[in-house]
Amino acid sequence: MTTQKGTGSRTPWQTDKWFVSPWNYLPEVTQGFAFPTRIQFHDVCLRDGEQQAGVEFTPKEKIKLATMLAEAGVHRIEAGMPAVSKYDAQAITEIVKLKLPAEIFAFSRCMVEDVKRAVDTGVKGIVMEVPASEHIIQYAYRWSPEKAIDLSVEATRYAKSQGLYVVFFPIDASRAEMGWYLNTMERVATEGHMDALALVDTFGVLSPHAVRYFVRETRKRIQKPLETHFHMDFGMGVANTIIALAAGAEVVHATISGIGERAGNVPTEDTLIALLTMYGVDTGVKTAHLTKLSRYVRKIAKLAMASNRQIVGDAVYDIESGIIASWFKNVGAEHILEVFPVHWDLVGQRPARVVLGKNSGLDSVKLHLERLRVQATDDQVNELVLRVKTASLKKKGLVDDQEFRRMVKAVVKR
């Protein structure tokens, strides 16, 4: 495990960019960790992310997002599924032509025709899906189990013959009977082909305690690099991903801000920052690009996001509470991480600021008066606090700068 370069590190848990729990690094906690030497991020915004209901990316938007991801140092980009439409195939082809500093993958079903379309785009890698629990094969696909295996063997062998790096992607693996799942994976690995195997939790139903079992049992039978593809239906995806990486998985499938089918995919931001700050694992992705990426994805996806969302939320570095405003005033720039666990610079956010609302206190108002270069008596400050609280409650929102200036003009006679 390595720490981020150029952070003025004093300890792994406390640098000039973050301050997390020292317990994270105790030998009693880290014993048994087996993080690989290199962890890669495989972005799936352009395929799985776009499967979120109502999200549609134009080819131009896909090309721009792929460029931004590559500039941020994302290692692999799943540019789409050529079989979906000619527009998807065109976008993937154009992305490949850019020769970005990221490996470009396509996604396909385990069907030879799908693979041919992927080959035509010029990608070097392919993620190949097939149903992998007996019940989903029976009820959702209405296939026989043997059909799923035969298609997988045929299509993966063909992909190999075309020189593609093949990531085998067993849909709904986490709800399969383990013995049947492993037998199936072994057959595809030996009769067909896979360069890597994705650990797929399609419906986000794995508990963190089950992840090590999933990795351990798979490794016993399949001697291939493992990748994680987890979903957020129960909010466990980030924790599950990190547990799998600590057990030796090498690649993370993720999306910016967790867009994706149903409750979404594992969010890139959360996973990257947790790995870096809590585990000392630097993947090389430029974290200062995260907020810009999130805002662009939200824009083109036309998605609203909670203002206090971790890491990239628009208001995550806003302070309304009077108590926290006093902390902010007291600690200064040198000790700002007493107030925030992650410095805004690390994730490309704007600097923290004190805002005015129902929860504001004396120091909140004093800071704003200092900004306006207005001197007020203690009684005037108290009156301003009261007015701020009353106005905020009445409008059910923050007091903006114009409103505060009017209050100052009415209370502080100059």
State the CATH number of the domain containing residue 118: 3.20.20.70
Positive or negative: CA dihedral 218, 219, 223, 225: positive
Q: Which two tokens stand for residue 302?
A: 């036309």
Q: What integer pLDDT is reported at residue 9 of this predicted model?
A: 57
Q: What integer pLDDT is reported at residue 414 of this predicted model?
A: 62
126 and 267 within one domain: yes
Looking at the DSSP bridge assignments, the partners of residue 200 are 229
Does the pTM of the predicted model rise above 0.75? yes
Residue 208 within a domain: yes
Which amino acid is residue 166, in one-letter code? Answer: V
Q: What integer pLDDT is reported at residue 413 of this predicted model?
A: 72
Residue 16 within a domain: no
Q: Which two tokens stand for residue 19?
A: 């301050």
Q: What integer pLDDT is reported at residue 119 of this predicted model?
A: 98
pLDDT digits (tens, 9 = 90+) for 157-198: 999 999 999 999 999 999 999 999 999 999 999 999 999 999
pLDDT digits (tens, 9 = 90+) for 293-327: 999 999 999 999 999 999 999 999 999 999 999 99
Residue 380 within a domain: yes
DSSP per-residue codes, 18-68: BB--GGGG-HHHHTT----S--EEEE-TTTTGGGSTT----HHHHHHHHHH
Contact between residue 266 and residue 49 where contact means Cβ atoms under 8 Å apart: no
Residue 11 within a domain: no
Out of 271, 301, 331, a domain closes at: 301
Number of domains observed in the structure of the chain: 2
Q: What integer pLDDT is reported at residue 8 of this predicted model?
A: 52
Range in 86-90, 126-130, 196-200, 291-295 with the lowest mean pLDDT: 86-90
In the predicted model, is pLDDT for residue 151 greater than 60? yes
Q: What integer pLDDT is reported at residue 175 of this predicted model?
A: 97
pLDDT digits (tens, 9 = 90+) for 17-31: 999 999 999 999 999
324 and 177 within one domain: no
Out of 269, 301, 333, a domain closes at: 301
Q: What integer pLDDT is reported at residue 296 of this predicted model?
A: 98
57 and 130 within one domain: yes
Whole domain around residue 206: which residue ranges?
A: 32-301
If you ran DSSP here, which 8-state letter would residue 127 be given?
A: E
β-strands 196-201, 226-230 pairing: parallel
Residue 83 within a domain: yes
Q: How far apart are CA 349 and CA 307, in angstroms?
A: 13
264 and 198 within one domain: yes
405 and 289 within one domain: no
Q: What integer pLDDT is reported at residue 6 of this predicted model?
A: 41
Contact between residue 242 and residue 272 where contact means Cβ atoms under 8 Å apart: no
β-strands 103-109, 125-131 pairing: parallel
What is the gyration radius of the CA atoms in the chain, in angstroms? 25
Q: What integer pLDDT is reported at residue 342 of this predicted model?
A: 98
328 and 268 within one domain: no
∠161-129-93 over CA atoms, to 5°?
65
Crossing angle between the packed helical segments 362-372 and 401-411, to the nearest 10 degrees: 90
Q: Which two tokens stand for residue 96?
A: 């490949």
Contact between residue 392 and residue 357 where contact means Cβ atoms under 8 Å apart: yes
In the predicted model, is pLDDT for residue 80 greater than 90? yes
Q: Provide φ and ψ at 388, rounded to 5°.
A: -60, -50
355 and 297 within one domain: no
From 334, 392, 333, select the one nearest 364 (Cα to Cα): 392
